[in-house]
């Protein structure tokens, strides 16, 4: 279970990183217009939260996945915080459902791997 948590956490972090790149780019793109094209593109009030979550959540998922073999509880906590952060900051949608689900499942598998007695 620890290996499955590691793989799911790292893959979830990489997919979350791709989503984070696009979210961060969208915020910069809309901020670049700065209200000049009001009818077409509008700057969100949650732009700072999007940028923060788009940067931090994938890093937490990759770090949690990487440490899930040696420290499964700490890795599970990091992956759960990553999944919860993506859900809170970006919402549950077409592009975020896979990284949220992968990080959440990896966190569950990390906790189960920590409680199992087999090595």
CA distance 19 to 86: 10
- Identify the pLDDT of residue 19: 94
Count CB neighbours of 25 within 10 A: 11
CA distance 28 to 71: 37
- Identify the pLDDT of residue 118: 58
Angle between helices 47-66 and 2-33 (to 10 degrees): 160
pLDDT in tens, the chain (119 residues): 889 999 999 999 999 999 999 998 888 888 777 666 556 666 677 788 888 999 999 999 999 999 998 888 999 999 999 999 999 988 899 999 999 999 999 999 999 988 876 55
Contact call for residues 1 and 112 (beta carbons, < 8 A): yes
pTM assigned to the model: 0.86
Return the C-alpha torsion angle 46, 48, 50, 52, nearest 10.
Answer: -150
- Identify the pLDDT of residue 33: 72
């Amino acid at each position: 279970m620890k290996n499955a948590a590691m793989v799911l956490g790292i893959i979830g972090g990489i997919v979350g990183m791709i989503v984070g790149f696009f979210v961060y780019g969208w915020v910069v793109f809309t901020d670049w217009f700065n209200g000049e094209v009001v009818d077409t593109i509008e700057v969100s009030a949650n732009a700072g939260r999007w940028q923060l979550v788009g940067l931090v959540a994938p890093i937490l998922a990759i770090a949690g996945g990487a440490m899930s073999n040696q420290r499964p509880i700490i890795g599970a906590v990091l992956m759960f915080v990553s999944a919860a952060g993506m859900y809170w900051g970006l919402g549950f949608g077409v592009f975020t459902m896979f990284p949220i689900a992968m990080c959440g499942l990896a966190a569950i598998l990390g906790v189960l791997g920590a409680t199992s007695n087999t090595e």
